[in-house]
Chain A
Amino acid sequence: MEEILSIPHWVVTVDGRTVTLNAATLAMSWLVMVLLLVVGVWAARRPGLVPSPFQAAVESVIEAFRDLVDESLGKLGPRYFAFIATLFLFILVSNWIGVVPLLQEPTRDLNTTLGLGLIGFVVAHVTALRVKGWKAYAKEYFQPFFFMFPLNVIGELAKVVSISFRLYGNIMGGAIIIAVVSRLVHYVLLPPFLYAFFGLFVGTVQAFVFAMLTLTYISVAIQE
């Protein structure tokens, strides 16, 4: 059981301080980025008016997301479409990569999901500052009463915690269930179905949910 939770570490010493790097998470994140880049370049290699099946598939995913973002952000949509679609695609491929033997999901590490959640948090708040101006933005924190300020701050911070723990818990829990049940049945018959459900299905749903929640946070932040 212990090998599931252990993450290979590199401990680097810089000026007497030790820095711990999660080697597997770093390597897998870069692998996911390279994969996405390859798919993107390949799909746009020879763009035609009559698209090849592969180009059509990639385009349909992108277009579905553009519609979604435009729907909830209105005229600000085009500015945030790339961000939301990138979040979705990165998390999707991150979750799917665990199905391949010897590879593990970067989202299995809380550091990755917390980082992604913080990106969404900062984007939402910077957007709110830009759209409303700092006066209206600061006023939000004193709604509905003056003394609700601490509660509002905690509420904002809890969004980051909940969104990152949700992704991490789903992926980590899925990985543990796969490992435990696979061992129980002696790796006979069941593991492919477990991987299909926890890796592919839950991975897709969670990637979508993460992107949608970030989108919702942004659209709530810009509302008057």
Chain B
Amino acid sequence: MDITGADLVRAAALLGAGIAMGFGAIGPGIGEGFAAGKACEGIARAPEHANLLTRTMLVGQAVSESTGIYALVVALLLIFVV
């Protein structure tokens, strides 16, 4: 079986998708964990504000998740479009 240029491009695209997703997930993981930890601290200190803290935490986590989502979109493009 011959390996053609197209095969190499496909292999590189799949490898790139994996690398993009793997490295792209580091940042959001750290960021969201940090936000959740700080929210836990806040709730422990002021349990009466738990609702507000949870809401703010979710919005902040979703914002910090966006880089991970960009990585996902890039990975999808690499897998399905390239």
Residues of A bordering B, CB below 8 Å: 1-2, 5, 162, 165-166, 168-170, 172-173, 176, 205-206, 208-209, 212-213, 216
Q: Does B63 sit within 8 A of A, measured CB to CB?
A: yes
- Residues in chain A near residue B63, CB distance under 8 A: 209, 213
Residue from A2, A176, A205, A212 within 8 A of B76 (CB atoms): A176
Give CA–CA (A168, B66) in the complex, Å. Answer: 11
Chain B residue, CB-CB nearest to A216: B59
- Residues in chain B near residue A176, CB distance under 8 A: 76
Chain B residue, CB-CB nearest to A168: B73
19 A-B residue pairs with Cβ-Cβ distance under 8 Å, sorted by A, are A1-B80, A5-B80, A162-B66, A165-B70, A165-B73, A166-B62, A166-B69, A169-B70, A169-B72, A170-B65, A173-B72, A205-B58, A208-B58, A208-B59, A209-B59, A212-B55, A213-B59, A213-B62, A216-B59
A46 to chain B, nearest CB (A): 31
Give CA–CA (A213, B63) in the complex, Å. Answer: 9
Residue from B62, B70, B80 having most chain A Cβ neighbours under 10 A: B62
A173 touches B69 (CB 8 A): yes
B34 to chain A, nearest CB (A): 18
A97 to chain B, nearest CB (A): 21
A212 touches B69 (CB 8 A): no
- Residues in chain B near residue A173, CB distance under 8 A: 69, 72, 76
A174 to chain B, nearest CB (A): 10
Give CA–CA (A150, B10) in the complex, Å. Answer: 37
Q: A5-B80, A162-B66, A208-B59 are in contact. List 12 more A-B contacts (CB 8 A).
A: A165-B66, A165-B69, A166-B62, A169-B70, A170-B69, A173-B72, A173-B76, A205-B58, A208-B58, A209-B59, A212-B55, A216-B59
With A5-B80, A172-B76, A176-B76 as contacts: A205 and B69 at CB distance below 8 Å: no
- Residues in chain A near residue B70, CB distance under 8 A: 165, 169
B residues 64-82 near A (Cβ < 8 Å) are 65-66, 69-70, 72-73, 76, 80
B43 to chain A, nearest CB (A): 18
A56 to chain B, nearest CB (A): 19
Residue from B55, B58, B69, B80 within 8 A of A169 (CB atoms): B69
Residue from A1, A169, A173 having most chain B Cβ neighbours under 10 A: A169
